[in-house]
Amino acid sequence: MIARLRVLGGIDGLQDPAAREASRFLLLVAVVLALLLAILEVDSNSAGLQSLGLMGNAFSADPVFKSP
Protein backbone atom coordinates (compact mmCIF):
# COMPACT_ATOMS: atom_id res chain seq x y z
CA MET A 1 0.00 0.00 0.00
CA ILE A 2 2.74 2.45 0.97
CA ALA A 3 4.77 1.53 -2.10
CA ARG A 4 1.78 2.29 -4.34
CA LEU A 5 1.31 5.69 -2.71
CA ARG A 6 4.99 6.48 -3.18
CA VAL A 7 4.75 5.66 -6.87
CA LEU A 8 1.59 7.73 -7.33
CA GLY A 9 2.43 10.81 -5.32
CA GLY A 10 6.11 10.77 -4.55
CA ILE A 11 5.56 11.19 -0.80
CA ASP A 12 9.12 10.21 0.06
CA GLY A 13 10.37 13.75 0.28
CA LEU A 14 13.68 12.51 -1.08
CA GLN A 15 13.35 14.54 -4.26
CA ASP A 16 12.86 17.84 -2.42
CA PRO A 17 15.60 18.80 0.08
CA ALA A 18 13.35 21.50 1.55
CA ALA A 19 10.84 18.83 2.56
CA ARG A 20 13.52 17.07 4.62
CA GLU A 21 14.37 20.31 6.43
CA ALA A 22 10.72 20.98 7.20
CA SER A 23 10.30 17.52 8.70
CA ARG A 24 13.33 18.05 10.97
CA PHE A 25 11.83 21.32 12.14
CA LEU A 26 8.47 19.65 12.77
CA LEU A 27 10.23 16.92 14.72
CA LEU A 28 11.94 19.54 16.89
CA VAL A 29 8.64 21.31 17.51
CA ALA A 30 6.97 18.01 18.44
CA VAL A 31 9.75 17.15 20.92
CA VAL A 32 9.59 20.59 22.53
CA LEU A 33 5.82 20.45 22.83
CA ALA A 34 5.97 16.95 24.34
CA LEU A 35 8.53 18.16 26.87
CA LEU A 36 6.37 21.14 27.81
CA LEU A 37 3.35 18.86 28.18
CA ALA A 38 5.31 16.54 30.48
CA ILE A 39 6.44 19.50 32.62
CA LEU A 40 2.88 20.81 32.87
CA GLU A 41 1.54 17.37 33.80
CA VAL A 42 4.09 16.91 36.57
CA ASP A 43 3.42 20.43 37.85
CA SER A 44 -0.34 20.00 37.87
CA ASN A 45 -0.13 16.61 39.61
CA SER A 46 2.67 17.46 42.04
CA ALA A 47 0.46 17.08 45.15
CA GLY A 48 -0.56 13.58 44.10
CA LEU A 49 3.03 12.62 43.31
CA GLN A 50 4.22 13.91 46.70
CA SER A 51 1.56 11.87 48.49
CA LEU A 52 2.81 8.75 46.70
CA GLY A 53 6.41 9.57 47.61
CA LEU A 54 7.50 9.93 44.00
CA MET A 55 8.41 13.59 44.32
CA GLY A 56 10.08 15.14 47.33
CA ASN A 57 11.56 18.45 48.34
CA ALA A 58 14.27 19.88 46.14
CA PHE A 59 16.59 20.31 49.13
CA SER A 60 15.85 17.29 51.23
CA ALA A 61 18.59 16.82 53.81
CA ASP A 62 18.85 15.11 57.13
CA PRO A 63 17.69 17.51 59.90
CA VAL A 64 20.90 16.78 61.82
CA PHE A 65 22.92 18.61 59.18
CA LYS A 66 20.65 21.68 59.05
CA SER A 67 21.58 24.75 61.03
CA PRO A 68 19.23 26.06 63.76
pLDDT digit string, tens, across residues 20-60: 566 888 889 999 999 999 999 988 888 787 777 777 666 66
DSSP string, 33-61: HHHHHHHHHHHHTHHHHHHHTSS--TT--
Q: What is the pLDDT of residue 35?
A: 96
pTM score, two decimals? 0.50
The confidence band for 62, taking pLDDT boundaries of 50, 70 and 90, is: confident
